[in-house]
Structure 1
Amino acid sequence: MSPPPELVKADGLWFPIDGIILRAEETIFRVPKSILGARSSVFQVMFEFPQPATGGDGEIEDETIDGIPVVRLHDSAKDVEVFLRAIFDSGYFMPPPSPVEVRDLLGILRLSHKYDVKYLFKRAIAHFETRYPLHLDKVGEVGTIRIAGNDGRVLKYRLKEIPTFHRVGATWLLPCAYYGIGTYSVERLVEFGPTWFTLPEDMKQTCFLLPKLQTAGTARLFDALTLLSTCESPHSCNLTKFEWLKNTRPDPEDPLNQDPLFELTFNRGELEAALCETCVIEARAHYNAAQANIWNQLPANCGLEGWDALLEQRRVALELE
């Protein structure tokens, strides 16, 4: 029989007074019971009405350390660590525009929802909203979320975000989160092994459909910019549009084809500089209308209600006026 694993005290999360000990995997945390209960309604109920240990989550076990009962949490030690640091270190998890690592942010979002720490949940959502905007005019702005590493690491966390947003009910983040996944090929998604294969089937099916839908959106925007001119010099402007389209439109295999809301896909400045004023005005109007249509279609692309319904769900979830 193998010996029991050695428990590790979390650095900086071992307080000497008013303590309760939490255990996640092989890491233990001693934190002020009164503060944790005041922040989390789930822990407050747990402390007021302790249940006998049956192997479930968040139960106070028979085990004690230094005479203090141990509460077993069936969460990852890393998630519990960042969650508790966000509660007990006032400078650890600041609201936007302060930057935050995506790994930490996902852990805080998951556990603030699970243990009902409302202010942390709202703060985590605020960070994700800098990455996944709620309005078209915010697309392309620099967000607060940091992801160290290459593009593969970015996609890995995108695939982790989708089920997390579903789980915590942050439906309004899903259209742009799914859109981000739709900028990758299906072959690229499948390369991610367990991260991909553990996604629920309905989420996988949505991801499979997105590249084709978004490529069609890019085509509509190129069409909107190159409609036949009816200005005073249509021959010249139509020739300009043809040459621009030939030189600018991405190769069919180019990932830019799947990113219709990315302005650099189109290099509109070069086209507008070569057109007459009438054609510039018309091209902008057609482009803006087509882009707005693509934006409005994002929720339906991933099987959700429209933006108005999603924003109402956000208002209720975040307890906004």
Structure 2
Amino acid sequence: MSTTLSSPTRQRIAPHPNSMSNANATKDAVSARSEIWMPYGDIILQAESTQFRVNRDVLARHSSIFRDLFSVPQPPNEATVESCHVVELSDAAEDWAWVLEVLYDPFGQQARLKFNVLAAMLRLGRKYEISQAHDDAVSRIRYEFPSDFKAFNALDADMARIEYRRGIYCDLLNLAYECGIYSSIPLLAFCCLREDNLETIFTGVRRDDKSYTTLSDDLKLRMALAFGRMALFQHQSLFWLRDETVIPHPSCQSPTRCTQQKNAMVRIVDQDHEGQFNLGYTIDQWDDRWTGILCAVCEDAATIIYDQERAKGWEALPSFFGLPEWKDLKDLD
């Protein structure tokens, strides 16, 4: 398996070549008018069987693709719908509904975006060079899944910018892989393995709406290899739970008790995945369930060695998935 991620094909994509369409043909094909129907709009976008009446200047301001399109004069005898030319697009109508809502009401967006909104902003933003939508989506993914250890440690669930649901990590991993946000792939892949076992990942993770998401074959292979590598690394990094090099500490006043409590810590690690190590201990912060189990001296010593080992896990994280080092993981944009 290659240690590099193949770049998806990048090309400048313009709207349908027959963008200024015949009104009668359009009317026959259209079955729905979007809620986005601006009374002073001067252009109609058609995606699937849905039409959106919008403003050329808004599209041109945010998209160089549309700016170039509108710079080409259209034949005066072209048929129209409500005096507006029609631009036929090959994208999903739902995606355009989300993106247009972002363009027309940017302050109305939620602090946490749903995946469908994020994906539409990223895909259409990239395809039509709508930087406002594209850059916002990319920044949210990079914030939630950073390539910097300090940024990872500073993550706060209360400040999340992407709405969580079951299957979100697999969906985001596929999206990041598709759109070339390679710097977020190691942490996204780790989150997938932390949340679901390999069997579930391979057969499909069930979303909250009862649909299923699955990974590409290449990503599945990387996950399978990473599972074994991470399990081995974690077993080695938690050595201090299986010997007496750290606990009990030489200054411990209750060595017998702390030794017994250390065994309780091992059981906490094992119980999460039916006797197997919870892979989260590779890079996750100190488990709150461990806090207060040991005496203060032993806990301080344990947290120091734990943080040292998980820092090593972070540096090795890309390699678990057969990827280049952090410094060599470059996004397409």
Question: Which TM-score band (shorter chain)?
Answer: 0.7 to 0.9
1:171 paired residue number: 182
1:45 lines up with 2:68 in the alignment:
yes
CA distance in structure 1 between the partners assigned to 2:277 and 2:72 by the alignment? 56
Q: Which runs of 5+ in 1 are unaligned?
A: 53-61, 148-152
**Contact (CA 8 Å) 1:212, 1:258: kept in 2 or not?**
no
Q: Which moved more, 1:72-81 or 1:125-134?
A: 125-134
Query: How far apart are residue 268 of structure 1 and its match?
Result: 3.0
Q: Which runs of 5+ in 2 are unaligned?
A: 1-26, 206-210
Give the direction of change, closer, same or farther, for the CA distance of 1:180–1:19 in structure 2 (3 Å limit). Answer: same
CA distance in structure 1 between the partners assigned to 2:72 and 2:232 by the alignment? 56
1:99 lines up with 2:122 in the alignment:
no
Percent identical: 20
2:141 paired residue number: 128
Give the direction of change, closer, same or farther, for the CA distance of 1:171–1:49 in structure 2 (3 Å limit). Answer: farther
**Contact (CA 8 Å) 2:41, 2:53: kept in 1 or not?**
no
Give the direction of change, closer, same or farther, for the CA distance of 1:265–1:210 in structure 2 (3 Å limit). Answer: farther
TM-score using structure 1 length = 0.77
Give the direction of change, closer, same or farther, for the CA distance of 1:77–1:166 in structure 2 (3 Å limit). Answer: same
Which residue of 204, 226, 230 corresponds with 1:192? 204
Deviations 1:8-61 (A, max 9, x none): 1111x2123352211111111111111201111111122224899xxxxxxxxx
1:33 paired residue number: 56
CA distance in structure 2 between the partners assigned to 1:146 and 1:254 by the alignment? 31
CA distance in structure 1 between the partners assigned to 2:79 and 2:236 by the alignment? 64
User: Which letter maps to 1:146?
Assistant: E
CA distance in structure 1 between the partners assigned to 2:74 and 2:149 by the alignment? 49
CA distance in structure 2 between the partners assigned to 1:67 and 1:32 by the alignment? 13
1:22 lines up with 2:38 in the alignment:
no
User: Which letter maps to 2:179?
Assistant: V
User: Which letter maps to 1:176?
Assistant: L
2:14 paired residue number: none
1:58 paired residue number: none
Query: How far apart are residue 238 of structure 1 and its match?
Result: 6.6
CA distance in structure 2 between the partners assigned to 1:177 and 1:18 by the alignment? 41
2:16 paired residue number: none
**Contact (CA 8 Å) 1:5, 1:26: kept in 2 or not?**
yes
Query: How far apart are residue 308 of structure 1 and its match?
Result: 2.4
Structure number with higher helix proportion: 1
SS at match of 1:145: coil
Which residue of 153, 156, 162 corresponds with 1:145? 162
**Contact (CA 8 Å) 1:6, 1:26: kept in 2 or not?**
yes
Give the direction of change, closer, same or farther, for the CA distance of 1:237–1:306 in structure 2 (3 Å limit). Answer: farther
List, as ranges, runs of 4+ consecutive aligned residues in structure 1 with deviation greater than 6 Å.
Answer: none
TM-score using structure 2 length = 0.74
**Contact (CA 8 Å) 1:20, 1:30: kept in 2 or not?**
yes
1:55 paired residue number: none
Alignment length (residue pairs): 289
Root mean square deviation of aligned Cα: 3.2
